[in-house]
Amino acid sequence: MDLILVLGIAAAFCTTAAFLPQAFKTIRTRHTKDISLGMYLFMVTGLTLWLAYGIFKGDLPIIIANSVTVVLASLILFMKMRNG
């Protein structure tokens, strides 16, 4: 494995794992009052675009990281839109 791939995997892991605490807390408490709707709308849009980019480039770290993060961020966004 080359250094650039390791760097990509490490970055993908960190940015994906960053959403786990918020996703778990949101699922557990169902509290979304203090979460920014605008931020999550932009984030899910951006993640979806990154995922498409990764697919077109055939870049596995980008594809995997953004696939998982889109699911986590979309879950939070869905709960925000549902619960306010």
This prediction has a pTM of: 0.84
What 8-state DSSP symbol labels residue 81? H
Q: At what angle do helices 37-57 and 60-83 cross, to 10 degrees?
A: 160
Q: Is the dihedral of CA 17, 18, 23, 28 positive or negative?
A: positive
Q: What is the pLDDT of residue 52?
A: 97
Task: Say which CATH architecture domain 3-83 belongs to.
Answer: Up-down Bundle (1.20)
Mean pLDDT per 10-residue section of the chain, whose length is 84 residues: 88 91 92 92 96 94 93 94 84
Q: What is the pLDDT of residue 60?
A: 87
Q: What is the pLDDT of residue 58?
A: 94
- Determine contact, residues 72/19, Cβ cutoff 8 Å: yes
